[in-house]
Amino acid sequence: MTIAIYPGTFDPITKGHLDIATRAAKIFEKLIIGVYDIPNKRLLFTTEERVELVRQAIVDLPNVEVEAFIGLTVDFAAKVGAKTVVRGLRATADFEREFEMAMLNKRLSPELELICLMAKLEYQFLSSSLLKEAASLGGNVDDLVPQHVAEALRKKIRSKR
């Protein structure tokens, strides 16, 4: 069985993330979305909340699973038996960062491959950081995230005020 991982913080998951996951799910027999548990980074949603938001978002993708992880991506890949890491690219800045991570991961785990999928044009600008900023300032981001994520985002922002 060909297994790939799609790691990220997904704080929160966007339609851009879902597009990459949906396309990767067509390539691999099994895709595991790895929700990175970063203890020292301030995120809007807890790890448990992010995992649940992703689970609800991928309910129609039968060969996609969600799992939280901490530590190195290469160790997570080895733990789940993945030979490929999937990442999405939006622009040149993404490429440089992904290239650096890919080279380090290749050094740490030479058998692990990286596949980058280009973001669709309508998601080229979309990042979770920009999305959260716009939402916190009252912007309507409903068309950029699944409905359950938009509701969770509004609720979380209200609770932080």
- Catalytic annotation on 41? yes
User: Domains plus CATH for the chain?
Assistant: 3-124 (3.40.50.620)
Local structure of 145: helix, strand or coil = coil
128 is catalytic: yes
Report the distance separating Cα 45 and Cα 82, nearest Å. 26
CA-to-CA separations, 145 to 2, 62, 64, 65, in angstroms, rounded:
28, 20, 18, 19
Tens digit of each residue's pLDDT (9 = 90 or more) over 113-141: 999 999 999 998 899 999 999 999 999 99
- Which residue among 15, 50, 87, 128 is the active-site one? 128
Residue 146: burial class (beta carbons within 10 Å; 0-12, 13-18, 19+): buried
**3-state SS assignment for residue 115:** strand
Tell me the per-residue pLDDT of 92-116, one tens digit each, with 9 for 90 and over: 778 888 899 999 999 999 999 999 9
Q: What is the pLDDT of residues 66-101, one digit of tens each?
A: 999 999 999 999 999 999 999 999 877 788 888 999
**Average pLDDT value over all residues in the chain:** 94
Question: Quick one: pLDDT at residue 59?
Answer: 97
Catalytic, out of 17, 50, 87, 132: 17
